[in-house]
Homo-oligomer: A and B are copies of this chain.
Amino acid sequence: MAQKLTRENAEKILRNVDNFLFDCDGVLWDGNGPIKGSLETVMRLKELGKRVFHVTNNSLHTREHFVKKCANYGYQVKQDEILCTAWIAAEYLRSKSFKDKVYVMGLKESMGEELNAFGIKNTGAGSDPLVGTSYGDWLEGVKLDPEVKCVLVGFDPHISYMKLMRATSYLKKPDCLFIATNTDNLLPVKNTDISIPDAGCMVSALTVASGREPIVMGKPAPNMFEVLREVHNLDPSRCMMVGDRLDTDIMFAKNCGMQSLLVLSGISSVDDVEQAPNTSEAVDSRPDFYAENLAELGKFIVGN
């Protein structure tokens, strides 16, 4: 049963949690900038001696970008306190000693850069507009690179038919890895009628065309936590995941054995919590606690 955050259980959280993992979009900031009181709360937790990490499914940016973004908001973060899916995909390939080339359906400035930083050969990131007007033109336009042994797909605003053809063609080879950064359906934006489709959109197009299922790097899969655990020797029972989505953040907490706090400043609502599946442990996405926003937690821990 999810509990509404109160002063009493906030104090209990402070006693029982050493490490806080924060989702970013919808928790720390949204399309309009920082969410009021959020960064202050994180800084206060640091002052109280808590370790803080940032764990985001967002595949639009490098870790370096996140460090700069935080700095712009007056919040100092180190690179190894940030885990994002463009980086974790590159880290995953490094851990597998991948030596071939990656076809990237995603952004050059995030997915391409993170691969480059590990010295992993890659191609495809960026724009790739349609060539010609017929089957024949397209077939001719797609020159497959025999070195490619992995298709990596993430958020791709340059999605094009040429890219879908190339990626699907590579995926015909059974020894070609198929990796997705994340499968979120929408990016969180507020106060607009416009929906901003996220990587889930590109991933499902490829899943349908190829008939294959990707290995997904982002939450709720435990990849990002595994890296943190290895490097920082974290005990999951002393960790709390703070997020705005039941299906990614809270499931991630469950999958990794962490405590969880849902904030209502992003995607999921109190109604979602009440309707969340709880028929078995495998699909229980109810958080331990929920609060309007991160500022609430901050309010309750001011005196500590």
Task: Point out residues on A near B: beta carbons under 8 Å.
Answer: 31, 127, 129-130, 135, 138-139, 142, 144, 156-161, 164-165, 168-169, 171-172, 183, 185-187, 189, 192-198, 200-211
| Minimum Cβ distance to chain B for residue A206 (Å) | 8
Chain B, residue nearest A141 (CB): B194
The reply to whether B208 and A185 contact each other, CB–CB distance below 8 Å, is yes
Complex alpha-carbon distance, A139 and B31, angstroms: 11
13 additional contacts (CB under 8 A) given A139-B196, A168-B195, A172-B193 = A130-B157, A135-B196, A138-B196, A139-B189, A144-B194, A159-B160, A159-B161, A160-B160, A169-B193, A169-B194, A201-B206, A201-B208, A205-B205
Interface residue from B168, B169, B208 paired with A204 (Cβ < 8 Å): B208
Whether B208 pairs with A200 at a CB distance below 8 angstroms is yes
With beta carbons under 8 angstroms apart, the residue of B129, B192, B194, B207 that contacts A129 is: B129
Write the nearest CB–CB distance from A229 to chain B, whole angstroms.
Answer: 30
Q: Which of B185, B203, B209 contacts A195 (CB 8 A)?
A: B209
Which residue of chain B lies nearest to A139 when distances are taken between CB atoms in the complex?
B194
This chain: copies in complex = 2
Q: Is the CB of B139 within 8 A of A165?
A: no
> Which residues of the other chain, B, contact A165 by a CB distance below 8 angstroms?
194-197
Instruction: Report yes or no: A168 in contact with B197, Cβ–Cβ below 8 A.
Output: yes
Cβ–Cβ contact B186 & A158, under 8 A: no
12 contacts between A and B (CB under 8 A): A138-B157, A138-B194, A158-B161, A159-B161, A164-B201, A165-B194, A165-B196, A168-B186, A169-B195, A195-B209, A198-B209, A202-B205
Q: Is the pair B209, A186 in contact by a Cβ cutoff of 8 Å?
A: yes
Contact B200 A209 (CB under 8 A): yes
- Report the minimum CB–CB distance from A31 to chain B (whole Å): 6
> Across the interface, which residues of B come within 8 angstroms of A204, CB to CB?
204-205, 207-208
A135 touches B31 (CB 8 A): yes
Nearest CB in chain B to that of A127: its residue: B130
- Residue of chain B at shortest CB distance from A198: B209
Task: Report chain B residues within 8 Å CB of A210.
Answer: 195
Query: Do A158 and B130 touch (CB < 8 A)?
Result: yes
Give which listed residue, B129, B130, B169, B205, contacts A201 with CB less than 8 A. Answer: B205
Closest residue on chain B to residue A164 by CB atoms: B197
